[in-house]
């Protein structure tokens, strides 16, 4: 099978520039395809079912967990579950594409453990906690308390960095993109 059913897993503390990097890569390498997770939380704003997430009711989510339909799932926030359906992997693999995950550290490490050599896990590191704080403040979407919470969470997430296959420090975006492109191209080729 084309690309031997591979997956790329990206994880980063919020504000590390992960979305920018993933969106750039998806445009750059057309055989990459974003994995849409399922969630039991309600859609926010303009979110559409099957675009940002597959939105399931809590009951339906639990039923599918019991059926063994998930590759992995987690209660990321209390009361809100998120996970990847096995059907999503095959939807993408059946096209000969490579699955791209944007997922929290725990989910990332779980998927790596399950898929082993088929998976490349990449941690995107903010240059420093101070810089991360500066970016979150600059983004001006969060209250000071929310920023404090995100910083605390970021510190915890950074502690998992050594368990990833590769780490990219997003100090200078152009440099980070070049490094990522090389790592990903090598992984696709081999």
Residue 186 CB, shortest distance to ligand 5GP, in Å, is 25
Nearest residue (CB) to ligand 5GP, 37 versus 121: 37
Among 55, 61, 82, 93, binds ligand 5GP (CB under 6 A): 82
Which residue carries 């929310």 as its tokens? 146
* Residue 77 CB partners (closer than 8 Å, separation 6+): 41
Cβ atoms of 73 and 83 closer than 8 Å: yes
User: What is residue 78's DSSP assignment?
Assistant: T
Among 29, 76, 169, 183, binds ligand 5GP (CB under 6 A): 76
Question: Which residues, 91 to 130, sit near ligand 5GP by CB under 6 A?
Answer: 103-104, 107
Sheet containing 37-39: give its strands across: 53-55, 37-39, 80-85, 70-77
Residue 189 CB, shortest distance to ligand 5GP, in Å, is 27
Beta strands, E only, the chain: 7-11, 32-34, 37-39, 53-55, 70-77, 80-85, 98-102, 119-125, 166-169
Does residue 74 touch ligand 5GP according to CB under 6 A?
A: yes
Nearest residue (CB) to ligand 5GP, 105 versus 120: 105
Does residue 55 touch ligand 5GP according to CB under 6 A?
A: no
Nearest residue (CB) to ligand 5GP, 74 versus 142: 74
Residue 171 CB, shortest distance to ligand 5GP, in Å, is 22
Task: Give me the helices (H) in 94-128, please.
Answer: 105-115
Does residue 188 touch ligand 5GP according to CB under 6 A?
A: no
Which residue carries 């590769």 as its tokens? 166
Task: Tally the C-alpha atoms within 13 A of residue 8's C-alpha that lie toward its C-beta.
Answer: 27
Beta-carbon count within 10 A of 56 CB: 19
Nearest residue (CB) to ligand 5GP, 79 versus 162: 79
Among 83, 100, 151, 157, binds ligand 5GP (CB under 6 A): 83
Among 41, 91, 118, 135, binds ligand 5GP (CB under 6 A): 41
Q: Which residues bind ligand 5GP (CB under 6 A)?
A: 37, 41, 72, 74, 76, 82-84, 103-104, 107
């Amino acid at each position: 099978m084309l690309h031997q059913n591979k997956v790329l897993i990206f994880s980063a503390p919020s504000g590390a520039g992960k979305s920018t990097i993933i969106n750039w890569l998806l445009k750059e390498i057309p055989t990459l395809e974003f994995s849409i997770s399922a969630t039991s939380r309600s859609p926010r704003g303009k979110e559409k079912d099957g675009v940002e997430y597959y939105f399931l009711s809590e009951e339906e989510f639990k039923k599918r967990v019991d059926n063994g339909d998930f590759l992995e799932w987690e209660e990321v926030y209390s009361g809100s579950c998120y996970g990847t359906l096995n059907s999503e992997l095959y939807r993408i693999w059946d096209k000969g594409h490579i699955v791209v995950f944007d997922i929290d550290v725990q989910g990332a490490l779980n998927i790596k453990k399950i898929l082993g050599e088929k998976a490349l896990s990449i941690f995107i590191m903010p240059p420093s906690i101070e810089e991360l704080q500066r970016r979150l403040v600059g983004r001006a979407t969060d209250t000071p308390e929310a920023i404090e919470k995100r910083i605390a969470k970021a510190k915890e997430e950074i502690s998992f960095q050594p368990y990833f296959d590769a780490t990219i420090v997003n100090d200078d975006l152009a440099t980070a993109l070049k490094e990522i492109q090389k790592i990903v191209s090598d992984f696709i080729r081999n």
